[in-house]
Structure 1
Amino acid sequence: MTSYNSVLPLDMGVENPFRSIIPYKPYYFTEHGSAYLADSLEVMKNMPESSVNLIVTSPPYALVYKKEYGNVDANAYVKWFMDFADQFLRVLTEDGSLVINIGGSWNRGKPTRSTYQFELIIELAKKFHLAQEFYWYNPAKLPAPAEWVTVRRIRVKDSVELVLWLSKSPFPKADNRKILQPYSKDMQRLIERGYVAKKRPSGHNITSKFQRDNKGAIPPNLLQVGNNDANSPYLQKCKESNMKPHPARFPKELPQLFIDFLTDQGDVVMDPFCGSNMTGIVAETRKRRWIGIESIEDYLKASEFRFPHIYR
């Protein structure tokens, strides 16, 4: 297999960042994080309480058709997931957060939707606080399910996925000033020309503070992010090395937004279903310590391509 990243020996002065708290040998590690080939439930059971600031992950969805990465049937999904939820709650710090990207599912043979996502929210809300729900709009989504969308033409393209932000306490660590977006042209003109304070027909009282330049706009909870990385270095290296890439990859913008929003440099970010380890490389570049856990070796091996240097 062709090597694209440097596998460095341990005498380079870099130690496994989690050697003292995780009693497992990492599959590889970097300056800021460690990746483990293991059952994440077992790893978390052996981690100290309150040791993780943010869990951001995309667990296997409850899809009708089975995927190679091991998705669970919708009827059993909530019960399966709640075992993980217990450990998430235990390892999170008091001001920590849990962010889950979870897609919807169609009922087998029918143009109707499963309610498993909503059932999961209700169960999670018994343990966590529901801080806010986000919606990921992916304009690159293919028209599916084909039977109902492109053949019979009785449904529209399903292009939105749910992203849940849950927290251990009602006031988790968060600062939206760290994720401000550029102002729109209209807002830039309003700041430059000024705004006449007035009460809107809706009843909102818009004061002169509205035109203050806060160095950016607060982002909405609708996230428009494409996930078409056909020319990414990760996929190119997988192809050249004859290794199969993970079929359901995070776009980097998703973990990056929540890592920036909900953590500080030096905090610990964990992805218990890390797949191609997009969460890990984003945390690495943002100087957060990270833990990635994956049960399928081929995916974890290929994830090494994301990092310029790894250690054994």
Structure 2
Amino acid sequence: MVSIKDVAEKAGVSDQTVSRVVHNDAKVDPRTRKRVERAIAKLGYVPNRAARMVRTNRSGVVALVTNSVSTTPFSTDIVRGVRDAIEATPYSLLTITTGSEPERRARCWKTVKEHRCDAVIFVTMYHRQVEEAELDPAVPTVLVNCSLENDRPVPAIVPDDYQGSYDAAALAFEHGHSRIGYVRLNQTILAARLREAGVRDLMRAKELMPREDWFVEGLVGKVFEDRYVAYENAMKILSLEDRPTVMLCGNDELALQVFSAAQTLGLRVPQDLSIVGFDDFQVISDVIRPGLTTMALPYYEMGQRAVRDVVKLIEKQPVETVRTAVPCVPVLRQSLQRLNRV
């Protein structure tokens, strides 16, 4: 078996220098690093993780724990952000899927402990609060796309749904729209409440009175068993002679339903009706014509920030804030038209 001494001799450096290269120490001279890496590749050296664990009481492994987040649209960007960021650290990534059943969650945390993971990045498939029972207080954890429902200080990185929706409404207002309609997400989820609040607060700030008959449901029923009603409700609003000039939508799927309703009624987008979505689900937003103006979820950046915070937890450094709300960025396409305010 190739040892660290063999690599050091081959590269003409000390054992300590090889160790520093293996652990991705940024202070190693780049030329020395390349020489050591060539020696590692030529000799096929594999670091002894068990010995490292004994020496440092760390495994060098971070667990990415998800509840099937990888199966949901665009939330794979969280995982991609985590994986890309972890490459710049000395840590390896172990991915575990929990599901929602308590037995599977218990097995998940058992696996985390069996692998002596240094910390966990816990990711949910939609923005929500998690219960204490879903976590293990003995394992340092960073939450992504969720926050803890009680006051225990667990670092959490979430999208700023409220500000994103406020900014979407502000964007419509800046384009001359004061007759604003809104299609809600399923009201049982946190993002739905935050996004609607953002729209309403912008309208209050601009002294606009929300028309309650223009604020309609888009999804109803239990989460993951819910059904779309956005098309039917948009048909009712858009059939009125007195109708909005812009429809803001809780997500891009709802915006697609509004597009369909407008098309059925012979309304042109954006000439007769502007539409703004949320999420920047590009299978929809960048494919339909005209392209959909929307707010992009910052999932990739959230994954990267999670790695930053989890490394700080492992290395006993202070985490700057318990809850980080990452801004959603507007993506301007052709579905939002500028007009004279009416």
Q: Normalised by the size of structure 1, how large is the TM-score?
A: 0.30
Bigger relative contact order, structure 1 or 2 (CA pairs below 8 A, ≥6 apart): 1
Larger-gyration structure (1/2): 2
